[in-house]
Amino acid sequence: MSSCRHCGLPAKAEFCCPGCESVYQLVTSLGLGDYYRNRTEAPGAPPEPVPSSAHYDRPDLQALYADGPGFHLLLDGLHCAACAWLIEHAVERLEGVESARVNYATSRLSVSGSMSLGAVVAAVGALGYRATPYRPDGREGHSDRTLLRRMAVAGFAAGNVMLLAAALYSGASQDEVFSRLFHVASLVLVLPVIFYSAIPFWQGARNALSQRVLTMDVPIALGLGVTFITSTIDTLRDQGPVYFDTVAMFVFVLLIGRYLERLARGRVGSALERLLALQVQIATLEDGSEVPTAELRPGMRVQVGPAGRLPADGTVVAGQAYLDEAMLTGESRPRAVAPGDRVMGGSLDLDGLLLVEVTHSAAEGILTALARRVEEAQSRRAPLQRLADKAARRFLSVVLSLSAVTLALWMMYDPARALEVAVSVLIITCPCALGLATPLVVAVATGRAASRGLLFRGGEALEACRAITTVVLDKTGTLTEGRLTLVGQPDRRWLRLAAAVERCNPHPVGLALLRAWGDEPLPAVDQLESLPGLGVRAVVEGRSVVVGSPRLIPAELESQVLVQVDGQVVAGYDLTDELRPEAREVLERMRARGLKLILASGDRSSNVEEVARRLPLDEAYGSLLPEDKYVLVRRLQASGERVAMVGDGVNDAPALSAATLGIAVENGTELTCEAAGLVLRRPGLRPLEEAFGLAEQAWERLIVNLGVALTYNCIAIPSAMAGLVSPLVAALAMPVSSLAVVLNSVRRFR
Partner 1 sequence: MNVIFYLLPLAIVLALVGLAGFFWAVSDGQFEDLEGPRWRVLFDQPASQPERRAS
Cβ-based neighbours of 740, under 8 Å, separated by 6 or more: 433, 708, 712
On the CB side of 538, CA atoms within 13 Å amount to: 20
CA distance to 621, 635, 698, per residue, from 612 (Å): 9, 21, 33
- Binds partner 1 by CB under 8 A, chosen from 141, 298, 339, 718: 141
**Smallest Cα–Cα separation from 731: which of 428, 431, 436?**
428
Smallest distance, partner 1 to C-beta of residue 142, A: 11
Q: Quick one: how far is CA 344 from the chain centroid?
A: 26
Buried b / exposed e across 554-592, counting CB within 10 Å, b at 16+? ebeeebebbbbbeeebbbbbebbbbbbeebeebbeebee
Nearest to partner 1 of 163, 317 (CB atom) = 163
- Only segment of 149-157, 369-377, 530-538, 712-720 that touches partner 1 (CB under 8 A): 149-157
The one catalytic residue in 474, 577, 603, 648 is 474
Residues facing residue 544 across a β-bridge: 539
**How many angstroms separate the first and last alpha carbons of the chain?**
37
**255-294 footprint of partner 1 as x/- string (CB under 8 A):** --------x-------------------------------
Residue count at the site for partner 1 (CB under 8 A)?
Answer: 40
Q: How far is the CB of 99 from partner 1 (least distance, A)?
A: 12
Q: Which of 106, 469, 485, 605 binds partner 1 (CB under 8 A)?
A: 106
Per the annotation, the verdict on 474 as an active-site residue is yes
Which residues between 187 and 226 bind partner 1 (CB under 8 A)? 189
Give the one residue of 13, 166, 181, 736 binding partner 1; rule: CB under 8 A: 181
Select from 105, 703, 715, 743 the one that contacts partner 1 (CB under 8 A).
105
Least separation in angstroms between residue 190's CB and partner 1 is 13
Contact 358, 313 (CB under 8 A): yes
Report the distance separating Cα 508 and Cα 477, nearest Å: 14
> Which CB atom, from 32 or from 734, has the smaller least distance to partner 1?
32
| Residue 57 vs 619, nearer CB to partner 1 | 57
**Binding range to partner 1, per CB under 8 A, among 3-11, 148-156, 216-224, 729-737:** 148-156
> What's the CA gap between 258 and 253, in Å, rounded?
9
Q: Give the separation between CA 534 and CA 735, rounded to whole angstroms.
A: 73
Quote the least distance from Cβ 160 to partner 1, whole Å: 6
Select from 587, 586, 585, 559 the least CA-distant residue to 574: 559
Show the site string, 37-56: x = touches partner 1 by CB under 8 A, - = not. Answer: -x------------------
Give CA–CA dist 557/576, Å, rounded. Answer: 17
The residue among 430 and 442 lying less far from partner 1, judged by its C-beta, is 442
> Among 30, 282, 528, 728, which residue interacts with partner 1 (rule: CB under 8 A)?
30
The CA distance from 243 to 164, in Å, is: 12
Build a one-symbol-per-residue string for 222-261: x at contacts with partner 1 by CB under 8 A, - elsewhere.
----------------------------------------
The reply on whether position 144 binds partner 1 by CB under 8 A is: yes
Selection from 748, 679, 670, 706 nearest residue 276 by Cα:
670
Task: Select the residue interacting with partner 1 from 103, 605, 637, 697 (CB under 8 A).
Answer: 103
Q: DSSP secondary-structure letter at 555?
A: -
Write the secondary structure of 564-616 as one string of H (helix), E (strand) and C (coil).
EECCEEEEEECEEEEECCCHHHHHHHHHHCCCEEEEECCCCHHHHHHHHHHCC
Q: How far is the CB of 264 from partner 1 (least distance, A)?
A: 12
Least Å distance between CB 89 and partner 1?
A: 6
- Examine residue 84 and tell whether it contacts partner 1 (CB under 8 A): yes
Residues near partner 1 (CB under 8 A) are 30-32, 34, 38, 81-82, 84-85, 89, 93-96, 102-106, 115-116, 119, 122-123, 141, 144-145, 148-149, 152-153, 156, 159-160, 163, 178, 181, 185, 189, 263
**Catalytically annotated residues:** 474
